[in-house]
Chains A and B, each alone.
Chain A
Amino acid sequence: MTEEIVLSVKGIEKNFTGTKALRGVEFSLRRGEIHALVGENGAGKTTLMNIISGVFKPDAGEIFVDGKRVEINSPHEAQKLNISFVHQEIALCDDVTVAENIFMPAINESKSFTVNFKKLYSEAVEILKPLANIRPDMPVSELSMSNHQIVEIARALSLNCKVLILDEPTSALSESESVALFKILHDLKNKGIGIIYISHRMGEVFSECDRVTVLRDGNYLGTYNINDIDRKEIVNKMVGRELDDTYPPKKKRNEISGEVLFEVKDFTSNRFKNISFKLFKGEVLGIAGLVGSGRSEMAQAICGIRPVKKGKAYYMGKELKLNSPGESIKKGVVYLTEDRKIDGLFLDLSIVKNISAMDIPKISGKLIISSKLEENQANNYVKIFDIKCRGIQQSVRSLSGGNQQKVLFSKILTVNPKIIFMDEPTRGIDVGAKAEIYKLIRKLTESGVGVILISSELPEVIGMSDRVMVMHEGEKTGELVEENINEKQIIHMASGITK
């Protein structure tokens, strides 16, 4: 492998209305390496990449491509310099074919009045063949999440990119899809493409990347060969303080009473069938499975958000009817959504109003809301969770990911839930906030709340669950306890090999 530098930046500064997002950041990328960029939310990773890909202009600093100083004023100019950015929120046109999406930049540049579809398809096949088995004439809306990402990568390749930037590409992918993605990335690396890889997942950084650059609060903390540093050091640099163990200790098997807190029998809908499980008092039940295995759909159905064909739920032996979100919230069975921005929070409303949303009667008499009760409630949660904000009237949109998630938790806890289905409770939040949420989960179970944890991150499922239920294509494929909770077993069951 060569040591040739394809891209480097020096002394990058960027201000956003008063806040310094980047202060004197440097970064360099070699030909044919996967270079991880890590840091907590707000560290400036995405801002730096937006500068490199021409979305933002830096206030100060220099960018060099192939040793030559350049100015990148727009994403279009970045493309011309063979820099491609695969955004976290995938930007594809849903109703258009795969091939048209791949060649969107080329079609845009083309002088011809018509599009030669035959040629388009054959060229698309050529690009896609080494990546995945995707038909070029399929509309993108029919593709899975991981294939969306592959189409984006194919688009970057069609532009003959030398620098490929990926922003948390695996956050929406299942374990096996991630593995497939890394295989592709390693192939690209061997062809000499430099890859910048933004991630929150330390596991991936250590298993897949060559070097790592750490940012904290817009400052450059250093670049390291992955072999010269360990996980703990990196995390400490990111957070700027020593972290306790990420996962709080589990319950011992004999500490969990045999008392059944919550039970589900024979839940069936068009996305999953015959799901039954028990949740014992004091334990965390993890649910693992690939994306598309029906985990979230099942949780939503139990909470009355999706229709069910049949199935019964019991709390402490008594049957619960949960036909609508309103009804299930009243009965204390709540669903913590996997996507706080889409269906969790009211981004443009204040922290106060977000926290009150689930239990309006609690802050109002029959009809009229008491500002005092409402504000006290919000102040209370801000204190308990240490939500970092300018004040409770601040809009939730302007909070960081971790603080947004804390607001979401506050909202759910206002109803004093008995059972919480947590769908990806730590998605997209930084290490420090993750640890706090894990502690909170343990505290909840100790106080008698049942927690069902759905997660695509295997280390999280393994680290947090006292028992794990695995699903595959809408069916339960098994349950694991104690030392059987390990990656091998889970992946085995999740891929449907054992039944």
Chain B
Amino acid sequence: MVDIDENPKMNPRKNIFSTAGQALNNFPEINLIFIIGVVWIILSFLSKNWNTWGNIRAIMMSFSIEGIVVIAMTIMLIVGGFDLSVGSVMALTMIISGKLFLLGVNPWIASLIAIIIAGCIGIVIGFFVTRVGLNFLITTLAIMVVTRGACYVLTKGTPLSLFELPASFKFIGQGRLSGVPFVIILFFIIVVFSDFMLRKSSVLRKVIYTGSNERAAILSGINASRVKVIVCILTSSLAGIAGILYMAKFGGATAQFGTGLEITAISAAIIGGASLSGGKGTVLGAVLGVAFLQIITGAMVMLNVNPYWQDFIRGLILLLAVTLDHIRQTRRRSA
């Protein structure tokens, strides 16, 4: 049998990324904190408005809701899958709950129903992946298109105007507690809770086992299919919860809302140290990843970068993140 230091498979090619890859391998969060710090300092020199409470709050607001989806996506990546349908599931949740509200249903109950429907979409994804045996790419791609289609069917393309939502409901998206936006507080609670769960809960431990080596997990008595279905439900439901928060924040819903969220979420999760090959990822990483992306977006807005270029740059960041992930994996296997 081969020993690790004598793996015959690979000739570890030296390249410019390898040192960076190795550094990232040890403690990805530290590197990311450092990078964010540097970017932040540069930006505070470029604009005197950057370091204001208003700006910091705006940035935190912007990633608080998205961050929920990123945490979900991180858990999805840990189990070895990914979900392209989060953006359209989010929009569908907004539209279903908005429609129900317009029909006279209590907004809280309408939201609950919509989130349950989102969870059911997770069951459908889980079914196709574990029972039928399709892969995550094709399943969630199809579900993404189907769900987005459903959004257009339900709205016939016209945005829903939901200014009538009661103030108590709008509070979850717009309100503040002693100056701090409620969404930020909520996000903070979700972060602390999910971080604790990922470290300590036996259910999420099974997620790590399954993603790290599915066959070994099965032989260890873990029902890997059930674990995957649970993660699918969790991801879709969290996307749904994010949708409800956005609806409360904006007082409206449109069929095209959340387009491209899957790209942002996967990028942020991978920047935060999750891996497309499963088994890796932390909540702290997810938070830092989404913060990093929002800082870049905020910077582009502040520096008046043409919006058409923004997607271009975001795409490049994703490519860079995936490349770094790949290098991390190969380094680990050959080192």
A interface residues (Cβ-Cβ under 8 A, vs B): 16-17, 19, 21, 41-42, 44-47, 49-50, 55-56, 74-75, 85, 87-89, 167-168, 171, 305, 324-326, 328-330, 335, 337, 342-349, 353, 356-358, 360-361, 364, 367-369, 371, 397-401, 411, 427-429
* Contact between B5 and A47, CB atoms less than 8 A apart: yes
A346-B6 contact, Cβ under 8 Å, with A329-B221, A360-B202, A369-B200: no
With contacts A346-B209, A427-B1 known, is A55 near B8, CB below 8 A? yes
- In the complex, what distance in Å separates the CA atom of A347 from the CA atom of B7? 14
Known A168-B1, A358-B221: A45·B6 in contact at CB below 8 Å: yes
User: Does A400 lie within 8 Å of B3, measured CB to CB?
Assistant: yes
Residue of B nearest to A56 (CB): B11
Nearest A residue to B209, CB-CB: A357
A419 to B208, CA, bound (A): 28
**Interchain CB contact under 8 A, A41 and B3:** yes
Min Cβ gap A363→B in Å is: 8
Which residues in window 284-302 of B have CB below 8 A to A? none
Which residues of chain B are near A361, meaning CB under 8 Å? 202
Given A50-B6, A353-B208: A342 and B222 interface contact (C-beta under 8 Å) = no
Asked if B219 and A346 make an inter-chain contact with CB atoms under 8 angstroms apart, the answer reads no
A75, A88, A328, A357: residue with the most chain B Cβ atoms closer than 10 Å: A357
Q: Identify the stretch in B57-65, B167-175, B210-218 within 8 Å (CB) of chain A at 4 or more residues.
A: B210-218
B332 within 8 A of A: yes
Does B6 contact A46, Cβ atoms closer than 8 Å? Answer: yes
For chain B, the bracket of interface size reads 35 or more
Inter-subunit contact A357/B4 (CB<8 Å): no
12 A-B contacts (beta carbon < 8 Å): A46-B7, A50-B8, A55-B8, A343-B215, A343-B218, A344-B219, A345-B216, A348-B280, A349-B212, A360-B202, A401-B2, A429-B1
The reply to whether the CB of B240 lies closer than 8 angstroms to some CB of chain A is no
Residues of A within 8 A of B202 (CB): 360-361, 364, 367-369
Interface residues of B in 34-50 (CB under 8 A from A): none
Q: Are A369 and B2 in contact (CB under 8 A)?
A: no
Q: Are A41 and B218 touching (Cβ within 8 A)?
A: no
Answer yes or no: B323 CB below 8 A from chain A CBs.
no
A45 to B2, CA, bound (A): 9
User: Which one of B3, B8, B215, B279 lies within 8 Å of A87 (CB-CB)?
Assistant: B8
Tell me how far the C-beta of A406 lies from the nearest C-beta in chain B, rounded to whole angstroms.
14
Write out the residue numbers on chain B whose beta carbons fall within 8 Å of the beta carbon of A349. Answer: 208-209, 212, 279
Knowing A87-B8, A349-B279, A411-B220, the reply to whether A360 touches B205 (Cβ < 8 A) is: yes
Nearest chain B residue, comparing its CB with the CB of A300: B219
Measured CB to CB, the closest approach of chain B to A75, in angstroms, equals 8
Please name 6 further chain A to chain B contacts, defined as beta carbons within 8 Å, in addition to the given A21-B6, A89-B8, sorted by A numbering. A325-B221, A343-B218, A343-B219, A349-B208, A364-B202, A401-B2
Give complex CA distance A371, B219 in Å.
Answer: 23
Asked if residues B213 and A346 are in contact (CB atoms below 8 Å), the reply is yes
B3 touches A358 (CB 8 A): no
Among candidates B11, B220, B279, residue contacting A325 with C-beta atoms closer than 8 Å = B220
B215 A368 Cβ-Cβ under 8 A: no
Q: Which of B200, B217, B218, B335 contacts A17 (CB 8 A)?
A: B335
Q: Is the beta-carbon distance between A347 and B9 smaller than 8 angstroms?
A: no
Residue of B nearest to A365 (CB): B202
Question: Is the pair A167, B8 in contact by a Cβ cutoff of 8 Å?
Answer: yes
The residue of chain B having its C-beta at the shortest distance from the C-beta of A326 within the complex is: B221
- Determine if A428 and B1 form an interchain contact, defined as CB atoms under 8 angstroms apart: yes
**Contact present for B9 and A358 (CB under 8 Å):** no
The reply to whether the CB of B206 lies closer than 8 angstroms to some CB of chain A is yes
| Set of chain A residues within 8 Å of B11, measured between Cβ atoms | 55-56, 74-75
With CB as the reference atom, state the residue of chain B lying closest to A360.
B202
How far does the alpha carbon of A49 sit from the alpha carbon of B9 in the complex, in Å? 12
Give Cα A13 to B215, complex, Å. 38
CA distance A86 to B264 in the complex (A): 45
Residue of A nearest to B12 (CB): A56
Task: Find chain B residues with CB under 8 A from A429 CB.
Answer: 1
Report if A88-B221 is in contact (Cβ < 8 Å); known contacts: A357-B209, A397-B332. no
- Identify the 3 closest CB pairs spanning chains A and B, nearest first: A428-B1, A343-B215, A46-B6
